[in-house]
Amino acid sequence: MAHILRLSALAVLLLSACCWADSELQEEDTAEELSVSELSVSELSVSELLERANSHLSEFRSDNDPILIEGDIAIDSEAERNADPCTSSGCKWGKASDGKVYVPYYITNHFSSREAAIITRGLESFSSFSCIRFRPTQSSDRDWLSIESQNGCYSFVGRRGGKQVVSLARSGCLYHGTVQHELLHALGFNHEQTRSDRDNHIKVLLQNVVSGMEHNFRKIATLNQGSPYDYNSVMQYHRYAFSKNNQPTMVPIPNPNVSFGNAKEMSRNDIARLNTLYKC
């Protein structure tokens, strides 16, 4: 009898070890799948990441969410659709006596420490190539950026006054380039394809654009500051943005084969025009 019990116990141990091994293998497979998935996402450009993150926002929009134009630019009312705050009114953040531009920010507790670190890296990157200094908000600040995980990725253009939400949703927006993109909006920059001189560089094919999304390709009276049109700008959307039929919505001219909309972080021109706007 004791011999049978010992065999039974051994069988249970062997079975447990087998199941444990299967479980470990399953966890390794899952981890491998996740890493492959993350790798494929990391290969996307900033504009592709933004479109992917914001593609279903209309299904989840609440009354508290701002109106979005051009995919990720927030506005307060329909009256702002055709206005560029940076040319219609003062939208720049002020410069301190030491020549630096201090932009207060607050990162809400929506984010994990790892996610907050991605945001902080994006904020701090500006200090390496400009006079912009994002710093934690203080009680005396009247204007500040509130970085939150709301529906999708979006920002208002330029300084608005008071609390100003920059949304970096935990699902889809937490990449270095997307953080830089939304912060550039907050500093006063629009998308490259809406530049006033756009038609000299990009042909928009509205026949391929999703119905109701044509307004995303409007031109506005942007402050181009003598800078060249930049196909490699982190603010330039990709060739198939808002396409309804997998056909291009934008084609470069005169050479249709020029690569564009592939930026994963700010370009030299993005940095140069930021420094020109703020006289760094």
Q: What is the CA radius of gyration of the chain?
A: 24
The answer on whether 3 is annotated among ligand-binding residues is no
Q: Label residue 91 exposed, middle or buried (CB < 10 Å: 0-12, 13-18, 19+).
A: buried
Quote the CA–CA distance of 241 and 193 in Å, as a whole number. 11
List the catalytic residue out of 48, 51, 80, 182. 182
Quote the CA–CA distance of 6 and 1 in Å, as a whole number. 9
The answer on whether 185 is annotated among ligand-binding residues is yes
Strand-pair partners of 252: 202
Quote the CA–CA distance of 61 and 64 in Å, as a whole number. 8
The answer on whether 201 is annotated among ligand-binding residues is no
DSSP for residue 199: G
**Which residue in 82, 44, 65 sits closest to 234, CA to CA?**
44
- Concerning whether 182 is annotated as a catalytic residue, the answer is yes
Point out the residues that are catalytic: 182
Q: Output the known binding site.
A: 181, 185, 191
Q: Output the known binding site for Zn(2+).
A: 181, 185, 191
